């Protein structure tokens, strides 16, 4: 007898805490553990439903009366860079990309600290030490890579670490888990370059999407994501092309989110492979 069994993870909700994107609001997350032999299968399935990975946890915003956070991804086949984005690629043509196993280094942590101190000194990661950084990079139960970007120096034998991205390889694309870069090169637009390069990597690998994390209308921190063409956002249970950012609102509404039990019931869980 052959049959399939659904993966049945347990879901939990975090306690409310201040929202990092919209001032004066409280955020809450729905999450589940990512572990076991079907971790990749679960990660693939839930990523397609707006979830993100952080170490061995999958989470999705589940805030009371607020549904502003929308998972965003780029359709690789339809993406066309703007003139400004093309200039970014030319400006960084000397960057060398290398893909490594998810292993933390002191050089990465030094760049990470400089990035946080300059760009996110009051954020939730501001106090992260080297051990917590190593856990962020290395604690992954799925196929992950650390993509490093280095720039040549006056010494031909040495290149400076300029940017880093922790990237998950999904069945249908690349998920940019977390990226950071040299804050002393503002004109290089390194954040934009990393995304553009991941689009190239996905295209070369035959993967249809690049997952960017969350786009939040009304949040200056997340506005840059809407500048990429062929962008889709996950809203009301389906992926929709982002044609006009003004179509999505950050306004509070008591019916904007379903009760937790209904949210969990609506999640599509994968089946295991047929067994005998």
Residues 84-116 pLDDT 10s: 999 999 999 999 999 999 999 999 999 999 999
Quick count: other Cβ atoms within 10 Å of Cβ 39?
Answer: 19
Residues 6+ apart with CB under 8 A from 81: 89, 196, 229
CATH of 72-229, one of 3.20.20.10, 3.40.630.30, 3.40.50.510, 3.40.50.1100: 3.40.630.30
What is the model's pLDDT at position 272? 67
What is the model's pLDDT at position 184? 95
Three-state SS at 118? helix
DSSP 3: B
Condensed to tens digits (0 to 9), the pLDDT of residues 159-199 reads 899 999 999 999 999 999 999 999 999 999 999 999 999 99
What is the model's pLDDT at position 251? 79
Nearest to 108 by CA among 146, 140, 139, 157: 146
Residues 6+ apart with CB under 8 A from 97: 147, 148, 149, 197
> φ, ψ for residue 42 (rounded to 5)?
-65, -40
Find out whether 21 and 36 touch, Cβ atoms under 8 Å. no
Across the range 260-266, mean pLDDT stands at 91
What is the model's pLDDT at position 275? 53
pTM: 0.92
| Own/partner long-range contacts of 43-49 (Cβ < 8 Å, ≥24 apart) | 43/142, 43/168, 43/170, 44/170, 44/171, 44/172, 44/270, 45/268, 45/269, 45/270, 46/267, 47/170, 47/175, 47/211, 48/172, 49/234, 49/237, 49/267, 49/268
- Go through 224-248 and write b for each residue having 16 or more CB atoms within 10 A of its CB, e for each that does not: ebeebebbbbbeeeebeebeebeeb
Dig out the tokens for 161 from the structure.
């670490």
> φ, ψ for residue 261 (rounded to 5)?
-60, -40
Please state, in angstroms and as integers, the Cα–Cα distance from residue 16 to each residue in 28, 31, 61, following that order: 5, 13, 11
Across the range 153-159, mean pLDDT stands at 79
Condensed to tens digits (0 to 9), the pLDDT of residues 204-239 reads 999 999 999 999 988 888 889 999 999 999 998 999
DSSP 271: B
Tokens 């995304």, residue? 195
- Go through 181-215 and write b for each residue having 16 or more CB atoms within 10 A of its CB, e for each that does not: bbeeeeebbbbbbbbbbbbebbeeeebebbbbbbb
Quote the CA–CA distance of 69 and 22 in Å, as a whole number: 10
Least confident window among 74-78, 141-145, 228-232, 271-275: 271-275
Find out whether 54 and 178 touch, Cβ atoms under 8 Å. no
Across the range 256-273, mean pLDDT stands at 85
Across the range 22-28, mean pLDDT stands at 91
What is the model's pLDDT at position 156? 76
What is the model's pLDDT at position 154? 75
Find out whether 230 and 242 touch, Cβ atoms under 8 Å. no
What is the pLDDT confidence band of residue 8, given thresholds at 50, 70 and 90? confident
- The mean of the pLDDT values for the chain is 91
Sequence ranges of the domains in the chain: 72-229
Condensed to tens digits (0 to 9), the pLDDT of residues 26-52 reads 999 999 999 999 999 999 999 999 999
What is the pLDDT confidence band of residue 266, given thresholds at 50, 70 and 90? very high
Dig out the tokens for 2 from the structure.
């052959």
Across the range 124-132, mean pLDDT stands at 86
Comparing 209 with 23, the larger pLDDT belongs to: 209
Torsion angle (degrees, nearest 10) of CA 77, 83, 85, 88: 140
What is the model's pLDDT at position 191? 96
What is the model's pLDDT at position 121? 61
């Amino acid at each position: 007898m052959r049959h399939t069994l659904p993966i049945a993870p347990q879901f939990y909700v975090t306690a409310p805490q201040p929202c990092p994107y919209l001032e004066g609001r409280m955020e809450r997350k729905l999450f589940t553990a990512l572990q076991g032999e079907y971790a990749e299968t679960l990660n693939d399935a839930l990523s397609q439903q707006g979830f993100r990975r952080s170490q061995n946890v999958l989470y999705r915003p589940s805030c009371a009366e607020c549904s502003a956070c929308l998972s965003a991804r780029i359709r690789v086949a339809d993406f066309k860079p703007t003139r400004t984005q093309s200039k970014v690629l030319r400006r960084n043509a000397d960057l060398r990309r290398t893909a490594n196993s998810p292993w933390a280094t002191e050089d990465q942590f030094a760049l990470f600290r400089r990035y946080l101190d300059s760009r996110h000194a009051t954020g939730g990661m501001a106090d992260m030490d080297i051990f917590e950084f190593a856990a962020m990079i290395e604690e992954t139960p799925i196929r992950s890579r650390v993509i490093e970007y280095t720039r040549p120096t006056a010494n031909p034998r040495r290149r400076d670490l300029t940017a880093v991205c922790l990237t998950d390889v999904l069945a249908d694309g690349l998920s940019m888990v977390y990226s950071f870069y040299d804050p002393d090169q503002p004109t290089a637009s390194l954040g934009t370059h990393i995304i553009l390069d991941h689009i190239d990597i996905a295209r070369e690998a035959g993967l249809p999407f690049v997952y960017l994390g969350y786009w939040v209308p009304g949040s200056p921190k997340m506005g840059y994501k809407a500048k990429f063409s062929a962008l889709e956002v996950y809203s009301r249970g389906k992926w929709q092309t982002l044609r006009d950012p003004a179509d999505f609102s950050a306004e509070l509404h008591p019916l904007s989110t379903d009760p937790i039990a209904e949210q969990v019931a609506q999640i599509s869980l994968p089946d295991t492979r047929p067994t005998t």
